[in-house]
A and B are shown apart, each in its own frame.
Chain A
Amino acid sequence: MRRYTVHGAVWIGVYLLFILAPLFALLTGSLPDARGFWTEFSVAIGYSGLAMMGLQFGLTARFRYVTDPWGEDVIYHFHRQISLIAVGLVVAHPLIMFAAQPQLLVLPEGADVPLGAVAAVVSIGALITLVVTALWRAELKIRYETWHLSHIVLAVVAVTGGLVHMVGWGFYLADPWKRAVWIGLTIFWIGLLLYVRFVKPLFVLRRPYRVAEVRRERGNSSTLVMKPEGHAGFRFRPGQFGWLALWGSPFRITGHPFSFSSSAEAADGRVEMTIRNLGDFTSTIASVPVGQRIYLDGPYGAFTIGNPADMHVLIAGGVGVTPMMSMLRTLADRGDARPVILFYGSKDWDAITFREELELLEARLKLTVVHVLANPPAPWAGEQGYIDAELFKRHLPPPYADHEYFICGPGPMMDSIEQALRELGVPMSKYHSERYRFV
């Protein structure tokens, strides 16, 4: 944990350095005469905002070294939230500039609109469209695949437009080396995109998998059993996930992240993913033919079992049980003797994915499964309703802060469980969470 904290702090430092160093580099070398304070401030936030937008490509470039201390879902959350700040800065740049110098709004008679101004309008237009479609994709009824492609195109247009605006205006970029720094940075940002879209898929392409079996599971879910073809596969830690490219090649824009549900100790490189039919891409899983060639990019994620002092507490909602199954199967294969408790929220008794196997695992591990049903059958002596602090108090031995907690489920459930753990005095370092719909 301490290693991750240090690691994370280093990355925040690097992140700020990548935003601020190119900005303050503008103050070196030859400098034009300063304009008013607010004009200069508006320029600074414009440059910073663009640098932040460029770094967005880095946040989603799937560098394990970057994502491991935080977990992929937190990185994507940061990517989303910081984009609002970045877009705010970029949009505020012309507003403050025009408020400070309203004469800039008037084009001299007969003059053409400068290329720098056109580029600025295109860049800001692309940025606003990008944020609106990202925030309200579902409300706008945009298909995930369509949105993903448009997101990438709009991001490239926005960043390139910003660069053309800066170079076209040329106020601070008169020195060739300063131009080179900003052009180089833009090439670097777009290079990150090319890396994740072209270079990485090349590696994935050379390591294909075949579907060995498609198993129907309870809860409208199916398990894909995949075997490496012509290579040894990869080692993953239980709880991690991979990006699945099921139809087509790994060069397709849209991959889908799913947790591995199989044991990390499987000897032949075989991996399994258990996927619930949610009506979108996931509805095709049950009909995948055996023998189909597929591609897996992974493993990723920091949501993985550690070495708790006393016991693992696993908390799953619905199909959020899949990483927990990987953990339990792995612990059983390793002959782990530490106690494990699984709190498992499901709609009803028949919808409990892996219900029968969990009973078998209770015999192989020191495992207790606490089913929490929204619609329990009659009669039902078990838990029902929601997983909350009172439920934990009924089943967990104190002190609660000694256990290590793993939570995976839908967003609202995760929020309420994190709140319940805070009420029980469990420090953040003792629990780990993964939101399975983070993209």
Chain B
Amino acid sequence: MRRLFADRLVLATGAVVILMSLLFAASRVLG
């Protein structure tokens, strides 16, 4: 169960990093 929680944390971390990378790119192109 804690591993399941860790798995979700891994996916959430990946999603946050990709979103932030999109934000990085958008701020470069738009800013």
Contact = CB atoms under 8 A, between A and B. Distances in A.
A40 B28 contact: yes
A40 B24 contact: yes
Interface stretch (A77-85, A106-114, A161-169): A77-85
A20 interface: yes
A422 B1 contact: yes
A95 B17 CA distance: 18
Contact of B20 (A23, A37, A40, A81): A23
A71 B2 CA distance: 9
A239 to B, nearest CB: 15
B21 A41 contact: yes
Given A52-B17, A78-B9, A27 B2 contact: no
Interface in A14-43: 15-16, 19-20, 23-24, 26-27, 31, 34, 36-38, 40-41, 43
Nearest to A431: B1
A428 interface: yes
A85 to B, nearest CB: 4
Contact of B3 (A27, A77, A421): A77
Contacts of A52: 17
Q: Is the interface of A mostly helix, strand, loop or mixed?
A: helix
Interface string A36-66: 1110110111001000100000000000000
Interface in B1-31: 1-3, 5-7, 9-10, 13-14, 16-18, 20-22, 24-29
A380 to B, nearest CB: 32
A81 B28 contact: no
B13 A15 contact: yes
Contacts of B14: 82, 85, 88-89
A27 B28 contact: yes
Nearest to A411: B3
B6 A78 contact: yes
Nearest to B14: A85
Contacts of A34: 28-29
Given A19-B17, A52-B17, A40 B3 contact: no
Q: Is the interface of B mostly helix, strand, loop or mixed?
A: helix
A36 B13 CA distance: 25
Contacts of A16: 13, 16-17
Given A77-B3, A81-B6, A20 B29 contact: no
Contact of A20 (B1, B2, B10, B20): B20
A401 interface: no
B28 to A, nearest CB: 4
Contacts of B1: 418, 421-422, 428, 431, 433
A88 B13 CA distance: 13
A423 to B, nearest CB: 12
Contact of A37 (B5, B9, B10, B25): B25
Contacts of A85: 10, 13-14, 17
A36 B29 CA distance: 7
B29 A44 contact: no
Given A78-B10, A82-B10, A85-B14, A44 B5 contact: no
A48 B17 contact: yes
Contacts of A26: 24
B18 to A, nearest CB: 7
A38 B26 CA distance: 9
A31 B29 CA distance: 12
Contact of B10 (A43, A81, A428): A81
15 contacts: A16-B16, A23-B21, A27-B28, A37-B26, A38-B25, A44-B24, A52-B17, A74-B3, A74-B6, A77-B6, A82-B14, A85-B13, A89-B14, A418-B1, A428-B5
Given A34-B29, A44-B25, 19 more contacts: A12-B9, A19-B17, A20-B20, A26-B24, A37-B28, A40-B24, A41-B24, A44-B21, A44-B24, A45-B17, A48-B21, A70-B2, A70-B6, A74-B3, A74-B5, A77-B6, A428-B5, A431-B1, A433-B1
Which 5 A-B pairs rank lowest in CB-CB distance, beginning with the nearest? A44-B21, A41-B25, A40-B25, A44-B24, A85-B14
